Amino acid sequence: MDRRSALATLALGALAAACSGRGGTDDDGGRETRVEIIRYGDDPSQRAELTRPSGSSKGVVVVIHGGFWRDQYDLSLGRPLATSLVAEGWTAYNVEYRRVGNGGGWPETFDDVAAAIDRLAEVDGVDTAKVVTLGHSAGGHLAVWAAGRARLTDERWTSPAVPVTAAVSQAGVLDLAAAIAADLGSGAVQRFMGGTVDDRYAEADPAALVPLGVPVRCVHGTDDTTVPLSQSTGYVERATAAGADATLTEVEGDHFVVIDPASRAWAQTLEILDAL
């Protein structure tokens, strides 16, 4: 079984828990954690899974899955992380969005991520004082983009109802122009954006939005051959040169180690979240 298949098996286990309405109980056998489906639009992909911890919450972590923005990958990839986050005392918000092949791309995917996060303002009992976006691969791109909405010029995105207070990129695609040059995902960026670099990229590319006014933490495997480590090193160098609070944690492993809840890389990510 390859790593992607193993992670899919973990996701199926998390899905079974979600379908039963159960995510686990606290250490004292207290109330069960339950998954709430939050709709933020009419499209079937415009939904998110909200899971609250059994006790007080450290804050909200918005989980944004990867897959080069393609529709064959979905939020099931984020379920194992959401389960772990809730066990650690976080409120997990696992977001689905329209992707390339089911109505996504520019600008629809961006609309969805913004709307999904803003929808939290209307959910009873959710404290949005601390909202951290956490994304893997293409989801890392969207996580950092969402944290930089105040840097945009398009008015539909620049006044978030729920501001992001920090972002964690897990092997994220953080420089779209460089990703095109390296042909990451065999043309994935061009299909996502509907063309090569033009004026729209100033609104879409995290590398073009530095410096952000919130911390950005990058976690990246040193053996990643899907999204090279240079995507994170280059972003952090550019961001810090512009005066931003951005760091890189290099971890042992490949592209998927960062979303394996049994890995040391994930344990380090939990430590990073606690420090934000």
Cβ–Cβ contacts within 10 Å for residue 182, how many?
A: 14
Q: Can you read off the two tokens belonging to residue 105?
A: 């791309």
Q: Can you read off the two tokens belonging to residue 120?
A: 């939290």
Residue 32 clears pLDDT 50, i.e. is over it: yes
The proportion of the chain whose per-residue pLDDT surpasses 90, expressed as a percent, equals 88
Q: What is the pLDDT of residue 13?
A: 45
Q: pTM (2 decimals)?
A: 0.90
Cβ–Cβ contacts within 10 Å for residue 28, how many?
A: 8
Q: What proportions of the chain, in percent to the nearest 5, are helix, strand and coil?
A: 40, 15, 45
For residue 20, name the pLDDT band (cuts at 50, 70, 90): very low
Q: What is the pLDDT of residue 4?
A: 52
Q: Where are the domains of the chain?
A: 3-17+46-275
141-184 pLDDT, tens per residue? 999 999 999 999 999 999 999 999 999 999 999 999 999 999 99
Q: Is 3-17+46-275 a domain of CATH 3.40.630.90?
A: no
